[in-house]
Structure 1
Amino acid sequence: MKKTKYIALSLGLLLIAVVYLASQMSFGATGKILPGVYLLNIDLSGLNEEQALAAAKRLEQSFQQPIMVTYRDYSWSLPLNRVDLRIDCEKEVQRAMQIGRTGSLWQRYQERRQAHEGLRLIPVIFLDIRLLEQVVSEAAEVIMLPPKDAGLIINADNTVEISPGSSGRLVEIGQLEQDIKQALLTNSKKPIELKLIEVPPARTTESVKAMGVDTLLGSYSTEFDPNKVNRAYNVSVAAAAIDGLIVSPQEVISFNEVVGPRSTEAGYKNAPIIVNNELVDGLGGGVCQVSTTLYNAVLLANLEVVERTNHSIPIPYVPIGRDATVVFDAIDFKFKNNTDHWLYIQSIVRGGRLTVKIFGNSKYKRDVIIRSWVDETYHPETVVEKDYGIKMGEWVVKQKGAQGYKAVAERIVMQDGKVIKVEKLPTSIYKARNQIISQGMAPPGSILKTPEVPVEKELIEELSSEEDG
């Protein structure tokens, strides 16, 4: 019995103590932050949510003032308003509003006691490290040295040299980010000392040497009219896409994947293209000259052709049977690096001449001859169509005819003056285009259209005799 009274008395005294302690702390009005709560050095006591949010934004604004950084005898001012520096004001205010009002009774009591003694919330600071790196690169450019990647140098005589790589010296951005945040949270006015680190090149001299590119394997050039400005421009755009291309051993290259869609966004313009055996204006006209030139360079480099399609009609800038047409998402040109070393492709557009060069390892250097010839000829037919818009007795060429061909080609590979391989290349079929003649059928007195291309007298007589027959 005495023990029970003792326990009850102890609990009573504890309750009195809690009430007494609580009475020494204001519980704060509902909807307002308890007295004694700070966001860093900003007093939020008694503020409602809107007032506290405004105070948090003032703190955020103060963080965006320039900060001084130094390196040895150099110093710079970094504009922190350019690095997207911010705090989550809404989240920090909600955290302040909930102090002493959430959790268990004991947790609330503990938080209220801490607030009574002064409770400082440390905000989380965010910034965009990429923007910080950009700002530092601009301000502290004098002390930084970007790493230099190793590369290949192609000389005018087609010899190959290696441009060595070298390490760079850059600001350790991650450490600077931490130092900036710490300086802001501690309200330090001391300049931040930049720390530099050595950065190796992404491509080292040793890795470029290991590629094994040391000689010209094959080269081919085609001509175009530079006065046809749009077409010449398209040739340059597509050629630039393959210039500098490196191909790993056994890799298959897709022309369409490398060059991409022929669109105005990619920089292409309207120029003649071949559609249904005819030249019409289309976006990207001239790109096929690049794929064709590359195809011939691939042949002469003794590389494997994976996919190739000829045009519907012969084209003037390469021998028949040696063209390669492309249409994005439909017709592609693909080849494989069938060597155990890397390849490097160079394309050059100068004046009205396009040249594609393929460099690789001298172990695979061969003398290559390409032969192509017409195996069959397909003669066009003459089709006569009656046209009541033309005066009776007149004949007009609606479509000029053109011969078609079957062209075959072969690749002769030689080493040390001896033939080591004769390879049959893909056959090319160029369909004949029929000649279409409009025969005038309109009776006298009808409203007629004006014939644009009248048929020569000899052809009229020939057609007349055929009609009579």
Structure 2
Amino acid sequence: MVKSNDSMKKNNILSKVLIGAAVIVGMIIFTIYQYNTAKAWSNRIYPGVKIENQDLSGKTKGEAKSIIEKKYKVGIIKKKLNIKTDARNYTLDFSKINPKYDIDGAINQAFNYGKDRNLLKKYQLIKLSSTKKFDLKLVYDDKPVNEFIDSIEKEVNKAPVDATLNISQGNIKVVPEKKGETLQKDKLKKELSSKINGEIDHDIDIKAPMQAVNAKITGDKISSINYKIGEFSTEYGSISSPERENNIVLATKSINGKILMPGDIFSFNDIVGERTAERGYEAAPIIVGDKVDSGLGGGICQVSSTLYNAVIRANIKSVERTHHSLPSHYVKLGMDATVDYGNLDYKFKNTLKYPIYIEGDASGGVVLFNVYSNNSLAGTVTELSSNVYQTVEPNIKYQDDATLPEGKTEVEKPFSTGYKVKVTKTTTQDGKLISRETITDDYYEPVEGIIKRGIKKPETTPVIPPAVPAATPPTPSAQPSTTPSAPKN
């Protein structure tokens, strides 16, 4: 029997309805299963989730915190930071940097991972888990770390040593330079920062990054120095106190061995430095204005003046030079160079095409400076002459003083004669005149003096005549006179 078309259509519709219903039911069941699965994991960390290398799948917040704290909170303080150099190793215990992991923050990240997604995504994360790693953020006190690096820097940094000369009995020998090295602090800190949050299973080992530092003056640059081109000396032993001698020796040592390349400028104050008690300088007489006073570093103007004369005689011009306010006893007028740290400096520039070497010595009560350069300058001779073209007598005031005896005088304020003086520099080359020029025209102003003179009259003592002795009565004669005395009228 053949079914009608209407019947077949009804069956098809029913089948579709049943299939659709089954799909819907299946979807509902699967959704319920997904829901129940997600709900079962709602208080647990999803599979595959790690903090550092610790798998926390299925752990509650409390369980996860207990695991992480046990492994990392205690373990971190046992770590060490090792910085290795060629010479030695330096170690810093982590306990000194007060390290603390942000464990709560990491646990929250691990626990909340995937919890904000839709049901299907949650189900996929649970059933089709893939690894998800969260890092522990380490918080620590970076002050001990910086101090640790600074202490390493002080030990490992080596300044380059410039080449210099060894001069003995006229023989000049080049002493080669030595390279230095310096710690690359920024690079080290950057590498340390990237590794300090690493695993706790092993210490942090870092090779200290070092950088070579070349010397400014190398042996090949000064090999041309082979001849003395200028010298000058002054005597100080017989005129100086022990304190003044000490200052002269200190300042001279600071200058000895100084090398100037062509174009370099020498600054006395920069090379010698500030004259302080901490640096060994002592109080001694110094010229302050128009009088002599006491001050730290007294006497070093003799050093600057002696050097000035040696440099001028090497045919090197001054950049900055000032004469004293009062004449100096150790050099001729117009040939001195005063210095005062922070105020007055003596400077000169190496205008030669060769480097120069300055040798200074202050032994035996004599300050001596020798200037060396190349022997091609041997034929050049520079001489100086000082010409006083005006003498200015000082004004001296006299003040009567009733406390001083008449005829006696006492200097209240020392006076000084003034001078106007020109210094001429004459330079010859192989005996032929090259130049003659006035290099200074100085005026040492007179200093007014005050002299007290006594007007106190001497005291007079009254003259007392000698005492007259009383008359002595006559002694009676042994035999009485027989002549009677005449009667008185």
TM-score bracket, shorter-length normalisation = 0.5 to 0.7
2:271 paired residue among 246, 254, 258 = 258
- Name the structure 2 match of 1:32: none
- Name the structure 2 match of 1:80: 91
AA paired with 1:337? N
| Other structure's SS at 1:330 match | coil
Query: Aligned partners of 1:48, 1:274: CA distance in 2, in Å?
Result: 81
- Name the structure 1 match of 2:316: 303
1:240 lines up with 2:253 in the alignment? yes
Contact 2:101 / 2:139 at 8 angstroms: preserved in 1?
A: no
AA paired with 1:403? T
| Other structure's SS at 1:81 match | strand
Task: Please report how far the alpha carbon of residue 383 of structure 1 lies from its aligned counterpart in structure 2 after TM superposition.
Answer: 0.9
- Name the structure 2 match of 1:360: 373
- Name the structure 1 match of 2:342: 329
1:99 lines up with 2:118 in the alignment? no
AA paired with 2:313? L
| Other structure's SS at 1:311 match | coil
AA paired with 1:89? P
Bigger radius of gyration? 2
**CA displacement, residues 394-438 of structure 1 (integer Å, 9 cap, x when unaligned):** 643323433222222122212212221212121222222333222
Contact 2:232 / 2:306 at 8 angstroms: preserved in 1?
A: yes
AA paired with 1:380? P
- Name the structure 1 match of 2:359: 346
| Other structure's SS at 1:294 match | helix
2:166 paired residue among 154, 176, 196 = 154
- Name the structure 2 match of 1:457: none
1:436 lines up with 2:450 in the alignment? yes
Task: Please report how far the alpha carbon of residue 196 of structure 1 lies from its aligned counterpart in structure 2 after TM superposition.
Answer: 11
| Other structure's SS at 1:23 match | coil
CA RMSD after TM alignment: 5.4
1:89 lines up with 2:72 in the alignment? no
Q: Assess, with a 3 A threshold, how the Cα gap between structure 1 residues 130 and 415 changes in structure 2: closer, same or farther.
A: same
Which has the higher mean CA deviation after the structures are superposed, 415-424 or 296-305?
A: 415-424
**CA displacement, residues 75-105 of structure 1 (integer Å, 9 cap, x when unaligned):** x9845138x9966725755754663589996
- Name the structure 2 match of 1:62: 78
Task: Please report how far the alpha carbon of residue 56 of structure 1 lies from its aligned counterpart in structure 2 after TM superposition.
Answer: 6.8
Q: Assess, with a 3 A threshold, how the Cα gap between structure 1 residues 430 and 397 changes in structure 2: closer, same or farther.
A: same
- Name the structure 1 match of 2:136: 121
TM-score by length of 1: 0.67
Q: Assess, with a 3 A threshold, how the Cα gap between structure 1 residues 120 and 341 changes in structure 2: closer, same or farther.
A: same
Query: Aligned partners of 1:394, 1:204: CA distance in 2, in Å?
Result: 66
1:420 lines up with 2:417 in the alignment? no
AA paired with 2:78? S
Query: Aligned partners of 2:376, 2:417: CA distance in 1, in Å?
Result: 44
Q: Assess, with a 3 A threshold, how the Cα gap between structure 1 residues 79 and 196 changes in structure 2: closer, same or farther.
A: closer
Contact 1:53 / 1:90 at 8 angstroms: preserved in 2?
A: no
Query: Aligned partners of 1:151, 1:119: CA distance in 2, in Å?
Result: 56
Structure 1 segment 437-452 matched on structure 2, within 5 A = 437-440=451-454
Task: Please report how far the alpha carbon of residue 390 of structure 1 lies from its aligned counterpart in structure 2 after TM superposition.
Answer: 4.8
Structure 1 segment 351-390 matched on structure 2, within 5 A = 351-365=364-378, 366-387=380-401, 390=404
Query: Aligned partners of 2:402, 2:28: CA distance in 1, in Å?
Result: 122
Q: Assess, with a 3 A threshold, how the Cα gap between structure 1 residues 273 and 39 changes in structure 2: closer, same or farther.
A: farther
Q: Assess, with a 3 A threshold, how the Cα gap between structure 1 residues 385 and 271 changes in structure 2: closer, same or farther.
A: same
1:291 paired residue among 304, 318, 321 = 304
1:220 lines up with 2:232 in the alignment? yes
Q: Assess, with a 3 A threshold, how the Cα gap between structure 1 residues 268 and 47 changes in structure 2: closer, same or farther.
A: farther
Query: Aligned partners of 2:34, 2:50: CA distance in 1, in Å?
Result: 24
Contact 1:63 / 1:184 at 8 angstroms: preserved in 2?
A: no
Query: Aligned partners of 1:47, 1:406: CA distance in 2, in Å?
Result: 97
Contact 1:395 / 1:438 at 8 angstroms: preserved in 2?
A: yes
Query: Aligned partners of 1:11, 1:390: CA distance in 2, in Å?
Result: 128
Seq. identity, %: 25
Contact 2:182 / 2:212 at 8 angstroms: preserved in 1?
A: no
Contact 2:90 / 2:152 at 8 angstroms: preserved in 1?
A: no
TM-score by length of 2: 0.65
Contact 1:395 / 1:437 at 8 angstroms: preserved in 2?
A: yes
AA paired with 2:435? K
Q: Assess, with a 3 A threshold, how the Cα gap between structure 1 residues 152 and 66 changes in structure 2: closer, same or farther.
A: closer
Query: Aligned partners of 1:414, 1:54: CA distance in 2, in Å?
Result: 89
Query: Aligned partners of 1:195, 1:400: CA distance in 2, in Å?
Result: 66
- Name the structure 2 match of 1:465: none
Query: Aligned partners of 1:94, 1:241: CA distance in 2, in Å?
Result: 62
**CA displacement, residues 127-182 of structure 1 (integer Å, 9 cap, x when unaligned):** 544544677x69xxxxxxx898561223223443222346799999989x979969
Task: Please report how far the alpha carbon of residue 385 of structure 1 lies from its aligned counterpart in structure 2 after TM superposition.
Answer: 2.4
| Other structure's SS at 1:380 match | coil
Q: Assess, with a 3 A threshold, how the Cα gap between structure 1 residues 53 and 133 changes in structure 2: closer, same or farther.
A: farther
Query: Aligned partners of 1:203, 1:162: CA distance in 2, in Å?
Result: 14
| Other structure's SS at 2:168 match | coil
Task: Please report how far the alpha carbon of residue 55 of structure 1 lies from its aligned counterpart in structure 2 after TM superposition.
Answer: 8.9
